[in-house]
Structure 1
Amino acid sequence: MMAPSTDYRARLKALSQCVCDGARLLIGQGNYGAYVAHVTKTHPDLAPMTEREFFRNRENARFGVGNKSGFRCC
């Protein structure tokens, strides 16, 4: 059985990760690890974007870069 302090730390770490992931989604930044896992599993023939490319891709999607209508906030 795990010591209470170890269990507490693990639960606190999981909660903080969940909060961070939620905050990233609110601002349009997905989880890079989840993206890589998805691409690896469902598109084995494709190489996943680098972390920098992924960040830029999500940022461009959020701000409508490349959209014919131009900048969009929401």
Structure 2
Amino acid sequence: MATGPGGRLRRAAGWVRWYVREVSGEAVYDKYVAHARACDPDAEVMTRREFERRRTDAREADPRDGFRCC
């Protein structure tokens, strides 16, 4: 376990990194890749760019799906 000021600082920085990735949606792609690999290791996985494009298109196709102010 991390003890001392350096260990606590590292643990806090790790938590902040995790939190920012979750809130910003950056971790969604990583979860997609893990799920795709778990379901079918030989399946072709979309690139991050393809994934984000499809995600944006799906979100904008149905405005009731999520609140958007602009």
Common topology (TM > 0.5):
yes
User: Greater helix percent: which structure?
Assistant: 2
Unaligned runs of 5+ in 1: 65-70
TM-score normalised over the length of structure 2? 0.65
**Could you say which structure has the greater relative contact order, defined with CA pairs below 8 angstroms and 6 or more residues apart?**
1
| Number of aligned positions between the proteins | 64
Identity, % of aligned positions: 31
* Aligned counterpart, 2:50: 53
CA distance in 2, matches of 1:12, 1:30: 16
Q: Of 28, 33, 42, which aligns to 2:30?
A: 33
Change (3 A) 1:7 1:30: closer
Unaligned runs of 5+ in 2: none
TM-score normalised over the length of structure 1? 0.63
